[in-house]
Structure 1
Amino acid sequence: MRAAVAGSSTAVQPSERDEIRDLLKRTAVALKQGDVPFALCGGYAAWMRGAPEPDHDADFLVPEAEADRAAKVLADAGLQVQDPPEDWLTKVVSGGSFVDVLWRTCGRPVETDLIERAEVLPVLSVHMPVLTATDIVVTKLMTLDEHYCDFARMLPVARALREQVDWAAVEEAVADNDFAVVFLQLLDRLGVVPKVSAA
C-alpha cells in the first residue's frame, strides 16, 4: 500500500498514479457541476505549471463558507467522502488513493479571493481553476515548521516555477514564518532566484 505521509520515500506505483489522477478529475467535475468555488492546489497544481508530478494525494481548496456544501456535492455525485478527525478538510477516497478538499490551510480559513485568483487550465483533459504559481509557493512555504521542514521537496517546485512567481509577494506573505524565510535565503544562495529584499 502506498504511504500517504509527508516526506515518504515510497514511490507511487503507475496504477496508483492513474487512480489518483482519475479521482482528481472526478472530484473537480463534481465541484464544477455543483457550482462550488474551488481551485487545485498543492503538488498537482505545481505539476500543471511545470513541476515534477507528486507521489502522493491531490489537493483542492474551497472557501470555508462552502465547506459543508462541497462535502454534500461530492457525496451526491457518488464519491466516497470521509470526515477525518481534522476539522479543516474532507477526504474523497477511492481504493488506496484520496483527494483532500481543504477549507483551511496553515491554520487560516481559505478566502474567496484566493480561489478567484486561480487560473482555469486543462488538467488531465478537465478544465479547472489552478492556483497561481505565486499562491502555490506561498501555501507550500507556509506549511513549513519545526515538525515538517523538508526543503528537498520544495526545491524542485521552486526551480520549476521560478519564472512564474512574484517573489516579492512571496517574501511579504511568508515574512512571519522563519522556516520559509530561510528557504528563500537558500534559493538566493543557490542562485535559483535573486535576492528580493534590498541589501
Structure 2
Amino acid sequence: MAEDEREALHDALRMAAVALTEAEIPFALCGSYAAWVRGAPEPEHDADFVVKEEHVETAREAIGAAGLDVQEPAENWLFKAYHRGQLVDVLYRLSGEPVHDELLERAEMLEVLAVRMPVLSATDVLSSKLRVLGEHYCDFGRLLPLTRALREQIDWERVRDEVSYSPYARAFLHLLEDLRIVEPAPAH
C-alpha cells in the first residue's frame, strides 16, 4: 500500500470514529485494524466498525456528514464509506448475527491513531474472523500472523465454544495446536 493510500485510510478510520462518537452511537472498531491496535500486523485494506442495526441510519448520516462518501452495497449486513478511495465498512451483522449490546460492552477504550475509541477484544476479533471461514473463504495464511500476535490476549475456551460448530474454524484451531501457537484444549 502506498503511503498516501495508508494516510487516506487512517484519515477515514479517524473521521468515521469521531463521527460515530459525536453522534453518540455505540460502536467499536473491529476486524484487522482492531487486531492491529492490539499488536497484530497492520492491514493493507479497509477499516471496519460495528454498530447495532437500530443505529445504522444515524451512523450513515453522521459518517456522510463527516465528509465520507456513503454507499449502500447489495449485502444486507453493512454499509460502506469512502475517503480518497479508501474504504470503511460499518457492519451491523457479524457472521450473520446481529451486533448486540454484550459485544459492544466488551470493547475496550483505546487510543487508535490519536483518537480514543472502543475496540473489540482480541477474543471477539478472532472469533468473528473464524466464524466467516467456509467453503468459499478459508485463508489461514492471513489468520496465522494475527493469532500469533494476539494469542496471550485471547480467551481460548470462549473462542473454541463459539466456533465449535464450524469444521473450518476447528481445523484452524487444530493447526494452531500442532504449530504450538496455543496449548491444546483440555480434555473433558
**The two structures share one fold, judged by TM-score above 0.5:** yes
Deviation digits for residues 23-74 of structure 1 (CA, Å, limit 9, x no counterpart): 0000000000000000000000000000000011000000122112211221
| 1:197 CA drift (Å) | 3.6
The corresponding residue for 2:89 is 100
Describe how 1:24-173 pairs up with structure 2 within 5 A.
24-173=13-162
Q: Which residue identity is paired with 1:198?
A: A
| 1:183 CA drift (Å) | 0.3
Instruction: Report % sequence identity.
Output: 52
The corresponding residue for 1:7 is none
Give me the whole-angstrom Cα distance separating, in 2, the residues matched to 1:68 and 1:62. 10
Q: Secondary structure at 2:33's aligned position in 1? A: helix
Q: Secondary structure at 2:185's aligned position in 1? A: coil
Preserved CA contact (<8 Å) 2:46 2:87: yes
Preserved CA contact (<8 Å) 2:123 2:159: yes
| 1:95 CA drift (Å) | 2.3
Q: Which residue identity is paired with 1:125?
A: A
Give me the whole-angstrom Cα distance separating, in 2, the residues matched to 1:95 and 1:48. 23
Preserved CA contact (<8 Å) 2:15 2:63: no
Q: Which residue identity is paired with 1:144?
A: L
Preserved CA contact (<8 Å) 2:28 2:119: yes
Q: Which runs of 5+ in 2 are unaligned?
A: none
Q: Which of 156, 178, 184 is 1:189 aligned to?
A: 178
Runs of 4+ in 1 over 3 A off after TM superposition: none
Give me the whole-angstrom Cα distance separating, in 2, the residues matched to 1:58 and 1:191. 30
Give me the whole-angstrom Cα distance separating, in 2, the residues matched to 1:86 and 1:129. 25
Instruction: Please give the TM-score of this superposition, normalised by the length of structure 1.
Output: 0.92
Give me the whole-angstrom Cα distance separating, in 2, the residues matched to 1:196 and 1:30. 42
Give me the whole-angstrom Cα distance separating, in 2, the residues matched to 1:196 and 1:67. 38
Give me the whole-angstrom Cα distance separating, in 2, the residues matched to 1:195 and 1:13. 40
Give me the whole-angstrom Cα distance separating, in 2, the residues matched to 1:144 and 1:13. 29
Q: Which residue identity is paired with 1:154?
A: L
Q: Which residue identity is paired with 1:124?
A: L
Q: Which moved more, 1:44-53 or 1:65-74?
A: 65-74
